[in-house]
Each structure stands twice: as C-alpha cells, then as structure tokens.
Amino acid sequence: MTKIKICGLKRLQDIEYVNEFLPDFIGFVFAGTKRKITDEKAKEFKTVLNPRIKAVGVFVNDTLEHISSLANNNIIDIIQLHGDEDKEYIENLRKITNKQIIKAVRVKNSQSVIETKKIKADYLLLDTFSDSGEYGGTGKTFNREYIPKNIGNYFLAGGLNRNNLEEIIKDVKPYAVDLSSGVETDGFKDREKIKKVIEIVRQ
C-alpha cells in the first residue's frame, strides 16, 4: 500500500490533526519558505507527535552540523534534502548520522531522475521543476511519463490533492505520496482535507 506524508506542519493544531489520522510521515520544513519552523518548535512538536508517525526534516543546502544535530537528537527521524546537495555531501552526512536520507529531484525529464539516482540516497522524492528556481512547494504536477521504470521506491510530490490522488497512485504506484498545499485552506493545514487524502490513499 502506498504510504503518505503530510509536509509543512507549523502549528500544534497540525500535530493534533495528524495524530488523529496517522499518516506514515510528516514533514518539518527548516528552509526559508512560509512553512519554515525553528528547531525549538520542531522539538516541541516531536514530543507530542504520535511515535508511529515518522518525522522528516526538510532542508535546502543546509550545513551538515545543523542537520546532524536535529537527526542525532531524534527531533527528526528521516532527512530530506531539497536543494543542490550532491553525492559528496550525502557521503559526508552519512559519516555523522545514520538516519535515512531522501533526495528531492526537480523533475525536468527522465534523465534528471536517473542522474539523481546516482547520488545513492535511500529514497528519491520526485517534485515539479520550476523555471523560477523554487526548491519545490510549487503546488503543480509534472508529466508522469518522466518517471523512469525501475528507479526503486520513491516519494511523489507536486500538486497532489484529493481530486487527483487516486488516479495518480493507480497510474504510477509510488512508495509514498507527499502533500502540503493540497491539504491546506488559505495557507493552513485543513483537518478535513488531511482526513480525506488519507482515506483515499488507504482505501
């Protein structure tokens, strides 16, 4: 069964919603977007997060020290790299923490996915490429024909919501789907939307 990640939690209320409906993963964003939270806030949230839910820390070109500190103190369970981190960066990160690593790909074409696969992260996360240089969070889907066969388990992001989720899962059978703006109303996480997408994924 496809797993589900709800990304960009920034209020205690959001933690209450996910504790109620139990997605497999949630995401704390530590990069400079409207969903960014502080280390202190993440630590507070992690203490009340249901332990069955894995917390993913989302970083863009951050320092190894900052990431490993959050990982080794178990404020996050999995590391997601959403910037220009390369193979050497990941090798150095593995020397200082044993947490699993997800590497995001901004999908331009099949080749962009194949190239990122060589970095040897534990999982890829396929997200929509943006001409404006945004590191994800565009809320737009990409052409699923760009997903190569046999790339292993991957997270699928980019413009997913309750209206397209069922069709997309049937079409490409990702390991996990990753939603953020697709479960928001006016920029805030919406309890009913979270409930609905988790029902769709698990039906």
Active-site residue list:
7, 127
> Which of 149, 153, 181 minimizes the C-alpha distance to 1?
153
Closest CA to 107 of 149, 136, 64, 72: 136
